[in-house]
Amino acid sequence: MKKLVLGLIITTGVFIATAFVVKPAGKPEKEGIKWMTWNQVLEAEKTQHRKVYVDVYTGWCGWCKRMDASTFTDPVIVNYVNDNFYAIKFDAETRESIRFGGKEYKYISQGTQGYNELAAEILNNQMSYPTSVYFDENLEQILTVPGYQDSKFFEAMINFVGTDNYKTVKFEDFQKSFTGKVK
């Protein structure tokens, strides 16, 4: 009897443990946006041209963290970005030098903090976080959108750029007719 009870306890324990470890069949793991570095994007552009989305953030920015936790985890957003863009998560205060567009961008110290020269350039020296920056397939900057964006607004904006409507239509007009998938 003791062996039977002990066997049931062990079997139950193994079953419970594997329930937390084994992924259910047919359910893919939750994927997020496939963030890349500047160098990875430059390499990827050599074989397949795509537009580039850059999330410019800092580690201390509360709205940046909120956008990470909400907008960038929305499955509609994740799928659209991954299918249509290369995405860069760019810490504006990174101390690493970055090579882009034939130039090297360095960290500029300002007291206890500082900024990377590339962040200052793509933000037109308007150091506001978060800021979304869009580049075309030739890595030419096309649009800069400062501030937090909820999923609905971001979906409209990324589609505006992704479908090339930014070339012919004002965003406000595009937004009026845009029917998104975000709930």
Q: Is the per-residue pLDDT at 16 higher than 90?
A: no
In whole angstroms, what is the distance from residue 8 CA to residue 15 CA?
Answer: 10
Q: What average pLDDT does range 172-182 have in this prediction?
A: 94
In this predicted structure, what is the pLDDT of residue 111? 85
Q: Per-residue pLDDT tens for 121-161?
A: 999 999 999 999 999 999 999 999 999 999 999 999 999 99
Q: Is the per-residue pLDDT at 114 higher than 80?
A: yes
Q: The pTM is what?
A: 0.82
In this predicted structure, what is the pLDDT of residue 141? 97
Domains of the chain and CATH, by start: 28-177 (3.40.30.10)
Q: Per-residue pLDDT tens for 54-92?
A: 999 999 999 999 999 999 999 999 999 999 999 999 999
- Residue 112: pLDDT band (50, 70, 90) is confident
